[in-house]
Amino acid sequence: MNEKTSTARAHTNIALMKYWGKKDAALNLPTTSSLSLTLKEFYTDTMVTEGREDTLLINNLMQDPTRVHKFLDFLRAEKGDFPPLTVVSKNVVPTSAGLASSASSFAALTAAVAHYNDWDLSLEELSRLARRGSGSATRSFFPGFAVWHEGHDDQSSFAESLPESTMPIALVVCEVAKTTKKVSSSDGMQRAMTSPDYEAWVAKSHEQFDVMQAALAANDLETVGAIAEENALAMHALNMSATDRRFTYFSQMTIDIIAFVKELRKQGFLAYATIDAGPNVKIITRQDQAEEIKEKALASFRKLKVEIATPGPGLSYIEEND
């Protein structure tokens, strides 16, 4: 057995325009394009090395490798065979942040495996492959703002960087104390697509996409935040209006924080809410207002944990002695 290893680092991303539904579940093709911000503070380092069978360790704990094994088999079929791998992942996502790590994990894993096998792939190609592990992973290869083009087939659905932006955006990440019962994102999407309002959400998302891109180019953070909030709340309304097992990720505190964000706006802050497949709220704001909003949130909600996140870098590789 050789001792060759390869380690990649990918940062998490938060969608400002959400991916919430698949037009092809086998290929993981989304019903809409999505747009995200990569975060500096939260990332995953993944090392791969030859093993006896595909295994997975996250933060030094053995995990069920089923999903990773399935993804590695997909890579073997797509790009050529390679030996069984031991996958060792370290999530630098503060437990208090309440952020999902599947985006950064599948991006880092795809890159580590490509590097291990000396595959010479562009970031777009890595993104296309990572899509099969987790949709949101497509966007975690790129610094700052990224767009995942929905595409119409396997080749055309991948993410890429948007032009570099100097927008002073920050996210105040609020983890609520109590979590509701978890519905996986795939299951949640499937249910949401049964909402009578689903087609309207998709059509609206296409419209919002152009406005959001123009707002980014114009450094108009107010419009970026307003569209992000509208897009996210409408996504969550689909969950509540699904005809197949309607549900919500919101807890009481989620709703209270949405009201708090509205109140912040009344007080003159730039503040908009976005929420993913869980009860936590990320408040989109300006970097120079983030600290004050964090303090206000801590003062307003007991047991709330709060982190501030800012735009982060794209994919990197870590040499053994780093």
Other CB atoms within 10 Å distance of the CB of residue 164: 10
- The answer to whether 30 and 157 are in contact (CB under 8 A) is yes
Give yes or no for a contact between 123 and 141, defined as CB atoms under 8 angstroms apart.
yes
CB nearer ligand PMV, residue 215 or residue 238: 238
279 sits near ligand PMV (criterion: CB under 6 A): no
157 binds ligand PMV per the rule CB under 6 A: no
276 binds ligand PMV (CB under 6 A): yes
Q: Out of 12, 19, 224, 297, which residue is the one contacting ligand PMV (CB under 6 A)?
A: 19
Residue 18 C-beta: closest distance to ligand PMV, Å = 4
Residue 221 or 235 having the CB closest to ligand PMV: 235
Binders of ligand PMV among 31-50, rule CB under 6 A?
34
Q: Tell me the window of 14-22, 60-68, 109-117, 218-226 that interacts with ligand PMV (CB under 6 A).
A: 14-22
Report how far apart, in Å, the C-alpha atoms of 304 and of each of 135, 175, 249, 251 are.
Answer: 29, 6, 17, 13
Helix axes 185-192, 221-241, angle to 10 degrees: 80
Selected binder of ligand PMV within 117, 185, 205, 289 (CB under 6 A): 185
H helices within the chain, ranges in order? 66-79, 102-116, 123-130, 185-192, 198-217, 221-241, 252-266, 287-300
* Minimum CB distance to ligand PMV smaller for 56 or for 264: 56
CB nearer to ligand PMV: give 255 or 298: 255
**15 binds ligand PMV per the rule CB under 6 A:** yes
254 contacts ligand PMV (rule: CB under 6 A): no
Q: Pick left, alpha or beta for residue 261 (phi over 0 → left; psi -120 to 50 → alpha; otherwise beta).
A: alpha
134 near ligand PMV, rule: CB under 6 A: yes
Tell me how far apart the 2 most distant CA atoms of the chain are, in Å: 63
Query: What is the rounded CA–CA span in Å between residue 306 and residue 235?
Result: 24
Among positions 33, 49, 105, 136, the unique one binding ligand PMV when judged by CB under 6 A: 136
Structure token digits, residue 124: 């777009």
Q: Which residues bind ligand PMV (CB under 6 A)?
A: 15, 18-20, 34, 100, 102, 134-136, 185-186, 276-277
